[in-house]
Chains A and B, each alone.
Chain A
Amino acid sequence: MSRVRATTWRPGPRLRVVLLLTPALLVVGVFVVGGVLQAVLQSLGFAPVVGESQWTLDAYRRVVTDPVVHDSLLLTARVSVISTALAAVLGTALALLVRRLGGRRRLAALFHGTLAVPHLVGALAIGLLLSPSGLLSRAAYRLGLVDSVQDVPALTQDAFGWGIIAEYTWKETPFVAVVALAALSRRVSDLEDVASTLGATRWQRLREVTLPVLAPPVAAASVLVLAFVTASYEVPRLLGRPYPATLSVEAFQRYRDIDLTSRPEAMALAVVIALLTTLAALAYLRLVGGLTRRSL
């Protein structure tokens, strides 16, 4: 007696994709979108905790006219742009150097090790290295470059933000280098060989072949770096001054303020940071999407 096996229901292809994506989209949708939405709402006056909601642009007005915020924005922009630029240039140069030297495997491992160091520890390390009583200062004293602690230029907790820039540069240069090294594949060497048979000297090959081919991945990595450093908290908090602080630190301070009216301002600042980094992300997608078609 044979039994006919009932066909089990299997989800169609469209439904299958939806099912597969649901958990991840939930995380993103509920948490990220929800969180940002909440921040926006609270910045506009929605106050579920206090109980009284009053829709107003007051928080934004206060934030936009606040000279402290202006200084904060300036500092954040300065630190982010300089760090990203340094990381991009140094990282690319480093990758090219490592490729020429051929010590790729060991140096690559070193870079990956640095990438693994949490930024918090990085802040500690840079602080211990560059602070007025830090290791570099002591070395300078030993070498006779300075006479006392007071003579040492402030590299941490300084007005310009050098300490912060140092930490970001130290951590993100290996990141760019690793991305660039991966892009310096066999195929790039082949292209450089072809260029040489067409008469290009070593400098010409670098300018006309290597750098243009490296540009898209390095640019994409740089945008990721820019987005990260703009929004980072620990490093500017530890290596920067309380005033002016970067936007993230400002936002956090206002959030923790006993005066609850500061909270919408904190949200407003958070929204501003989110806008800045989202613009960076759009640029990133444009770069990676548009240029991937043209690059290798």
Chain B
Amino acid sequence: MTRSPWRGAAVAVVAVVTLLPMVPVVLWAVAGAWRYPDLLPPETSLRGLRLLAGDGVLGALGTSVLVSTSVALLACLVGLPAGRALGLHRFRGRRLVQFLLLAPIIVPPLAVTLGLQVFFVRYGLADTVGGVVLVQLVPTVPYAASLLAAAHADLDTDHERAARVLGAGPVRTLLHVSLPLLRPALVTAFLLTFLISWSEYVLTLLVGGGRVTTLPLLLFSAIESSDRTAAAALGLLVVLPPVLLVLALTRVAGRDVAWVGVSRA
């Protein structure tokens, strides 16, 4: 590995290019009147940030947190047994099941939801938080299942067997042996599905019918409006939890993060 003086420069260039698009967002969020062609906002203002404390935003924030947490919990709940089956057991049709479970990532959610909308309306799930949570299981369960399948494949079942031999029943074994062993993967799966749900726009729009307002929906209208400061401020609010969570995720899961695990599924 060469330690040339270009090293620091190259790292800096990569970092700058990667971070560049976020710069105007930060600037606009704290800008007062900022007209063309000023390169930097001549005056700063807290208007944007104060908007974030408004009722509408707080409500949307609450809804987002509620929806995303529920989705993450459910996705992991559903993905855990599926992951166990895929990771530990060899059975006929395993490849088919793997393909099926990947289908939701590949088949466009838009196509799926347009079709589902009819049923959601009929069963009274349209325009409800419950409906939104359910539909968001579609893009999240595959990731949870893949991650947990990989984790189970690496799992040493000897621990569970030892526990059973020592007299623990299936439930206690699950709670005290299996789950703790799977904890890093579970945390990763939770964070990842939370993230996917948090960023979701189209599905919430379609199923929620505009009644269920999550942060992305608010952000979308703000972007379409001419109020760049509001949009930027909201953008920062939307971006912050995912970025923090992912940085925490890399700490938990080490270098091999979720996306990589999925692409190997």
By a beta-carbon cutoff of 8 Å, the part of chain A in contact with chain B is: 13-14, 16-17, 19-25, 27-29, 31-42, 48-49, 94, 97-98, 100-103, 106-129, 133-135, 137-139, 141-142, 149, 170, 174-175, 178-179, 182, 217, 220-221, 224, 227, 230-231, 233-234, 238, 248, 251-252, 255, 266-267, 270-271, 273-274, 277-278, 280-281, 284-285, 288-289, 292
Once A21-B97, A124-B223, A133-B36 are accepted as A-B contacts, the answer to whether A27 and B141 lie under 8 Å apart by CB is yes
Q: Is the CB of A21 within 8 A of B99?
A: no
Question: How many angstroms from the CA of A127 to the CA of B195 in the assembled complex?
Answer: 23
Q: Which of B54-62, B109-117, B182-190 contacts A (4 or more CB under 8 A)?
A: B109-117
Q: Is the CB of B110 within 8 A of A233?
A: yes
| A98 x B14 contact (CB < 8 A) | yes
Known: A100-B2, A109-B250, A116-B195. A217 touches B263 (CB 8 A): yes
Cβ–Cβ < 8 Å partners of B259 in chain A: 115, 175, 178-179
Q: Check if B22 sits within 8 Å of A118, measured CB to CB.
A: no
Residues of chain A within 8 A of B223, CB atoms compared: 120, 123-124, 127, 238
- Chain B interface size band reads 35 or more
Residue of A with least CB distance to B85: A20
B7 near A141 (CB under 8 angstroms)?
no
Task: Enumerate chain B interface residues (CB-CB to A < 8 A).
Answer: 1-3, 7, 10-11, 14-15, 18-25, 27-28, 36-39, 77-79, 81-82, 84-86, 89, 91, 95, 97, 99-116, 118-119, 121-122, 134-135, 137-138, 141-142, 145, 195, 198-199, 201-202, 216, 219-220, 223-224, 228, 231-232, 235, 238-239, 242-243, 245-247, 249-250, 255-257, 259-260, 262-264
Q: A21 near B85 (CB under 8 angstroms)?
A: yes
Q: Evaluate contact between B141 and A28: CB separation under 8 angstroms.
A: yes
Q: Is the CB of A35 within 8 A of B245?
A: no
Q: Does more than half of chain A's interface fall in helix, strand or loop, or is it mixed?
A: helix
On whether the beta carbons of A31 and B18 are closer than 8 Å, the reply is no
Who on chain A is nearest to B195 by CB? A116
Using A113-B247, A270-B108, A280-B106 as known contacts, list a sample of 8 further A-B pairs with CB atoms less than 8 Å apart, ordered by residue number in A.
Answer: A32-B103, A116-B195, A120-B219, A129-B23, A135-B39, A142-B37, A274-B108, A277-B106
Partner of B100, one of A28, A119, A251: A28
Query: A109 with B247: in contact, given A116-B242, A120-B199 (CB under 8 Å)?
Result: yes
Q: Which residue, A121, A127, A137, A270, has most C-beta atoms of chain B within 10 A? A: A121
13 CB-based A-B contacts, threshold 8 Å:
A17-B85, A20-B84, A24-B141, A27-B138, A38-B118, A121-B219, A124-B223, A124-B232, A127-B223, A133-B36, A238-B223, A267-B114, A277-B106
Interface pair A278/B257, CB less than 8 Å apart: no
Question: Hey, which chain A residues are within 8 Å of B82, CB to CB?
Answer: 20-21, 23-25
Name the one of A36, A110, A121, A170 contacting B15, with C-beta atoms under 8 angstroms.
A110
Bound: A267/B1 CA distance, A? 54
A16: chain B residues within 8 A (beta carbon): 85, 89
If A20-B84, A24-B81, A135-B23 touch, whether A120 touches B247 (CB-CB below 8 Å) is: no
CB distance from A15 to the nearest CB of B (A): 11
Q: A35-B111, A108-B255, A179-B260 given as contacts; is B198 within 8 A of A118 (CB)?
A: yes
Whether A221 contacts B25 by the Cβ 8 Å rule is no
The reply to whether B10 and A121 form a contact with Cβ atoms under 8 Å apart is no
Given the complex of chains A and B, what is the CA–CA distance between A274 and B27 in angstroms? 39
* Contact yes or no, B115 A281, CB < 8 A: no
List chain A residues, Cβ under 8 A from B138.
Answer: 27, 31-32, 35
Shortest C-beta distance, A285 to chain B (Å), equals 6
Pair A125/B25 contact, Cβ less than 8 Å: yes
- Smallest CB-CB separation from A111: which chain B residue? B18
